[in-house]
Structure 1
Amino acid sequence: MSSIIQLLPDHVANQIAAGEVVQRPASVVKELLENAVDAKATDIKLILKDAGKSLIQVIDNGVGMSVTDSRLCFERHATSKIRQAEDLFSLHTKGFRGEALASIAAIAHVEMKTKQEQEELGIHIIIEGSKFVSQDPAVLPKGTSFAVKNLFFNIPARRNFLKSETVEQRHIVDEFQRVAMAHPNIHFTMYHNGSEMFNLPISNFRQRIVNIFSGKTNEKLVPVSEETEILNLQGFVGKPEFSKKNRGEQFFFVNNRFIKSGYLHHAVMAAYDGLLKDGAQPSYFLYLDVPPHTIDINIHPTKTEIKFDDEHALYAILRSSVKHSLGQFNVAPVLDFDRDPNLDTPYQYQNKEAEYPTIQVDSNYNPFADNSQNFSEQNGVKSSKSFSSSSNYRKSEISQPSWESLYVGLKQNTQEIAEMTFENDAVTSSLFEENDIEQEVKRTYQIHKKYIVSPIKSGMVIINQKRAHERVLYEEFLTNMTVKQASSQRLLFPLELYFSSNEMDLLRELQLSLENLGFIFDSITDESMVVSGLPITISESQASIVLDDLLTDLQDGIVSNSFSENDSIAKSMAKSLAVKTGTYLTEKEQENLVHNLFGCKEPNVSPFQKPTFITMSVEDLDKKFSL
């Protein structure tokens, strides 16, 4: 029997490894940027076309490579970062696995140009699908240039799994920002389709964060600083009033490497306990410096997860440091028992003695007297001014006609009123008895603030209120954008909303569709926009939330399975504005929702293809009770 286990060819093994290392264009960007940082570059340029699908080029002014190294770097498990297994626990660099360039070269057309400073000529190498096409000397500047073209050209199935250009660009921007924030001592620039997206000069940590996110980032940052034997913590956290619904501005860096840690995130959220609204997420940019031997960064292919030796100590230090910073800068309430109590007293009252209030009593006041003035006259006591006024008031009340006159002719009028009342009761009973019975019958019922039950001829219909409202809003928004006749409400005071630079670029692309929906923009700059009008279905307090949700959905690809831009916007806004589960609806609101739902073109499903209602016939109910 012949053997069935065989060694894979190198190009097949590289393609399999590429599946772990290169998941999308952003993975290539991350690997190339980290290699440029390890090459001690001070200026790094990232050039993209079609969100990295056509071209990803990284140019640096680092140390470069020799002819031998330039050829060897494309081999599997070839790296300059480690020599033995123990080096994995004392890493000070980024790339160390030795698979990145080999994996990239196996699924793309790669062109590399590199030159060392002491050499007169550099080397120019072209590789297509792990095959060396050419290797020639060339006149080049110091540093290295990697150009990755036609990503996944030989794996069309993987290329078909890529998302839209907006989503892929968002992932690339995320990777670029993470590397740039970790290294403010390097000048980073980013170009996409010929236009400059980022230009980040050499600066400190705070200025680098402001340059990336722009807007009002500077005024919402609170510095955090703590030095211990096991941890050196530096960075910034955001003020609670600037919190958002998404987690887009949350960054942990351990030894200048971006990581994700739900455990450390929980420590930060614990420091904000009682300061945030439900569902709100704070911003934080925290840099942790720990001894390399206390962490293991080789537990995940993307190296974004790290295992710590003593997580509990890091948790406690992180939570207390953030909480202390929020209290120190008067962001959160704090108890300080060493505070000087004299600071609570205004200076002009420090040397003054307390003045005790005096009490005055009118010994002549009698609350039981009918006439204060007569009482005081009989006892020879002079009445006070207040008593005089009250006596005059009582006099005016007593000087009314005698009480017997109020009942004159009452017997005759009572007989007439009784007869009229009897006639009215008879008429009312005969005319409105049936309508009163109909008004007592409810047409809809709300169950657990989630479902609406309405009777029908064959049984009953059970409606999911959130999905039904999403369908109603979706068709309304889509109609308004198609017909371009949406109604707007002018704001008395225009809103100025701030977003990051890449978010503003996306809003400019969506401006026409949003205006067709009913938004009115006075101006749009690189950092902010002024909104002077809103669709009638959106309140002023919802404007910022709706736009934030829209940007998040488009960038994360939540509504990417859409036919057009208008469809994506309508889906996102319907999801954001729809009535939430747990909201109480009045009977009138329930009926309106039911009528509007069955007036839609496709009432059976929500915009996200989930059922909006189910029906249950009387026969189904009978079967339930027959068991």
Structure 2
Amino acid sequence: MADIIQLLPDHVANQIAAGEVVQRPASVVKELLENAIDAGANTIKLIIKDAGKTLVQVIDDGKGMSTTDARLSFERHATSKIKSADDLFQLNTKGFRGEALASIAAIAHVELKTKQETDDVGNTIQIEGSKVITQEIVVTPKGTSVAVKNLFFNIPARRNFLKSDAVELRHIMDEFHRVALAHPSINFLFYNNGSETFNLPVSNFRQRIVNIFGSKTNEKLVPVNEDTEVLKISGFVGKPEFAKKTRGEQYFFVNNRFIKSAYLNHAIASAFEGLLKNGTHASYFLNLDVDPQTIDINIHPTKTEIKFDDEHTLYAILRSAVKHSLGQFNIAPVLDFDRDPNLDTSYTQQKINIKAPQIEVDRSFNPFKNEPIKTESKPSFSGRQTTSFKPTPNNWDSLYIGVASKEINNNNETSVDFSEVQFESEEQTASMFDNNEVEQANTTYQIHNKYIVSTIKSGMLVIDQYRAHQRVLYEDFLKNLTIKEATSQQLLFPLQLHFSKQDVEIISQLKEDLEFTGFLFSEITKETVEITGVPVGVPESEVSIILEQLISDVENEVPDSNFSAADLLAKSMAKSLAIKTGQALKKDEQEHLVNKLFACKEPNVSPTNKTTFITMSVDELDKKFI
């Protein structure tokens, strides 16, 4: 039988490796930024065009490469970071596999320019699909410039799987934030389609957070510091009142490398237990310094997952450190929730002996001193003593209306005939068991503040109130967006909301559609959005929640070509404003919701294609009792 196993060609092997390393343009950004950091760069410039599909370029002022190194850098498993397997457990650099540039060159057009400080001229290499097109001498400044053009040009199926520009750009920004936050000592610049998006100067960790997420972030941060033999923690957590519904601002850095860890994230959530509202997540920016020998980074191609030797100890230290910081800065509540902190005794007054107050009493005080003295009336000329009475009212006879007659007894006692006395009539209430009135049967019932039960001819109807209201609101918003007419209610005072730069950019893109739903914007700056009008029925307190949910949906729910921006906007707003599970509804509200649901075009499903109601016939109920 003939041999069937054969070695793959290099270009095929590179494309297979590229499938693991390069998933989208953001993967290229991550690898190139990390290479620039390993090169010792002080300034790194990232240039993006068309969300990285057309161009991803990283320019640094690092140490550069020689002619031989520039050519070898595109070979598989060629690296300067490690020399033996033992080096994998003592890593202090970002990249170490030597697969990044080789994988990128296999699926894109790559142009490399590099020059060392001691050389007079540099080198340039052009590669297309793992094939070296040119390599020649060029005049270039010190450092390295890598331009990746036409990503996935030779794999159209992979290119078709890329999402919209807004989604891909968001992934690029996420990678940029992760690298920039981990290295505040490096100057980062970010250009998107020719305009400068970020210019992050050299600063400390707190200032780097503020420069990325906006100036209002500074007041939301609580410092966390803990130094033990096992783990050193430094960084910040967000105050509970600023918790968001999304997990966007959650960053763990282990030895200056961004990682994802559901286990350590649970430690943070446990420290915030009892402080956060349901459905919200705390923000954190934490640096964890551990011994490189106690972690294994080489367990995932993207190097965002790390295996720790002793996770339980790290969990306990991290949880206690965050909890201590929240308590130290009076973020965590005490047992007495009504306590006024202004009445607490300060530390400087605790050791001072308290003196009993001296009370002076005015013993000569007479409360009756100023009361007028009653004087007896003077005797009349007839010699009799007269007594003063209160004046008799002029309408005295009205007091005796209804008294028909008075009979004077022999004992001079007056008897009154009450037979004709009229009393005020009391309001009579109808009897519950009055046979003349038949109580109208209730048509709807609410169960557990979640489901609405209504009777139908064949049995009963059970409606999920949250999903049903979503469907009603979705069709209303979609109608307003389609006909471009909506009613707006003006705010007495403009509402000013603060967002990060990338969030403001998303709102700017959706501004026109938002105005069709009823929002009115007076000003949009780099970090603030000023709103003067909101859709009718939308409370002012819900505006920020609606916009945050909308931004999250735009980033995560993938508005491809088959999903219009109007459809996504209607879904997002309906999800934010719908009646939540647990909210009690009055009878008329229940009936109104049922009527509005069955007036919709598609009452059977919610905007997310989930069932809104079920029916149960009388026969099915009868079978339950067999």
TM bucket, shorter chain = 0.7 to 0.9
Q: CA deviation at 1:346?
A: 7.2
Counterpart of 1:409 in structure 2 is 419
Counterpart of 1:365 in structure 2 is none
Where do 1:480-491 residues align within 5 Å?
Answer: 480-491=480-491
Counterpart of 2:388 in structure 1 is none
Where do 1:85-234 residues align within 5 Å?
Answer: 85-234=85-234
Structure 2: unaligned runs, 5 residues or longer? 336-343, 364-398, 404-412
Partner SS for 1:216: helix
Counterpart of 1:608 in structure 2 is 608
Q: Spell out, residue by residue over 1:2-39, the C-alpha distance to the aligned partner (whole angstroms, 9 max, x if none).
A: 22322222111111111111111111110010001001
Counterpart of 1:327 in structure 2 is 327
Partner SS for 1:551: helix
Q: CA deviation at 1:507?
A: 1.0
- Partner amino acid for 1:500? S
- 1:353 is the counterpart of 2:363: no
Q: Spell out, residue by residue over 1:144-186, the C-alpha distance to the aligned partner (whole angstroms, 9 max, x if none).
A: 1111111111222211211111111111100000000111111
| RMSD of equivalent CA atoms | 3.1
Q: CA deviation at 1:404?
A: 10
CA contact under 8 A between 1:90 and 1:292: conserved in structure 2? yes
Counterpart of 2:408 in structure 1 is none
Q: Spell out, residue by residue over 1:232-253, the C-alpha distance to the aligned partner (whole angstroms, 9 max, x if none).
A: 2211112222211111111111
Q: CA deviation at 1:610?
A: 2.4
Q: CA deviation at 1:333?
A: 4.7
CA pair 179-602 structure 1, distance change in 2 beyond 3 A: same
CA contact under 8 A between 1:518 and 1:534: conserved in structure 2? yes
Q: CA deviation at 1:139?
A: 1.2
Where do 1:51-62 residues align within 5 Å?
Answer: 51-62=51-62
Inter-partner Cα distance in structure 2 for 1:317 and 1:86: 29
Where do 1:9-88 residues align within 5 Å?
Answer: 9-88=9-88
Counterpart of 2:462 in structure 1 is 462
Inter-partner Cα distance in structure 2 for 1:245 and 1:510: 20
Counterpart of 1:367 in structure 2 is none
Q: CA deviation at 1:613?
A: 2.3
Q: Spell out, residue by residue over 1:83-135, the C-alpha distance to the aligned partner (whole angstroms, 9 max, x if none).
A: 00000000000011111111111111111111111122221111111111221
CA contact under 8 A between 1:215 and 1:528: conserved in structure 2? no
Partner SS for 2:216: coil
CA contact under 8 A between 1:94 and 1:257: conserved in structure 2? yes
Counterpart of 1:283 in structure 2 is 283
Partner SS for 2:616: strand
Q: CA deviation at 1:191?
A: 1.0
Counterpart of 1:569 in structure 2 is 569
Q: CA deviation at 1:562?
A: 5.3
CA pair 624-328 structure 1, distance change in 2 beyond 3 A: closer
Aligned residues: 569
CA pair 357-10 structure 1, distance change in 2 beyond 3 A: farther
Structure 1: unaligned runs, 5 residues or longer? 336-340, 361-399
Where do 1:424-443 residues align within 5 Å?
Answer: 433=437, 436-437=438-439, 439=440, 441-443=441-443
Q: CA deviation at 1:537?
A: 2.4
- 1:312 is the counterpart of 2:312: yes
CA contact under 8 A between 1:170 and 1:556: conserved in structure 2? no
CA contact under 8 A between 2:250 and 2:284: conserved in structure 1? yes
Q: Spell out, residue by residue over 1:531-574, the C-alpha distance to the aligned partner (whole angstroms, 9 max, x if none).
A: 22211221111111111111111112256575321111111111
Where do 1:257-406 residues align within 5 Å?
Answer: 257-333=257-333, 343=346, 352-354=355-357
Partner SS for 1:472: helix
- Partner amino acid for 2:418? V
CA pair 619-195 structure 1, distance change in 2 beyond 3 A: same
Inter-partner Cα distance in structure 1 for 2:125 and 2:347: 74
CA contact under 8 A between 2:164 and 2:559: conserved in structure 1? no
Inter-partner Cα distance in structure 1 for 2:272 and 2:283: 11
Inter-partner Cα distance in structure 1 for 2:195 and 2:63: 28
The 10-residue stretch of structure 1 (450-459 or 590-599) with the greater mean CA deviation from structure 2: 450-459
Inter-partner Cα distance in structure 2 for 1:273 and 1:297: 30
The 10-residue stretch of structure 1 (614-623 or 140-149) with the greater mean CA deviation from structure 2: 614-623
Inter-partner Cα distance in structure 1 for 2:414 and 2:548: 75
Inter-partner Cα distance in structure 1 for 2:30 and 2:115: 22
Counterpart of 1:475 in structure 2 is 475
CA pair 294-614 structure 1, distance change in 2 beyond 3 A: same
The 10-residue stretch of structure 1 (575-584 or 41-50) with the greater mean CA deviation from structure 2: 575-584
- Partner amino acid for 1:353? A
- Name whichever structure is richer in helix by fraction: 1
- Partner amino acid for 2:536? I
Counterpart of 1:237 in structure 2 is 237
CA contact under 8 A between 1:560 and 1:568: conserved in structure 2? no
Identity of aligned residues (%): 65
CA pair 70-586 structure 1, distance change in 2 beyond 3 A: same
Q: CA deviation at 1:407?
A: 7.4
CA pair 146-620 structure 1, distance change in 2 beyond 3 A: same
CA contact under 8 A between 1:215 and 1:499: conserved in structure 2? no
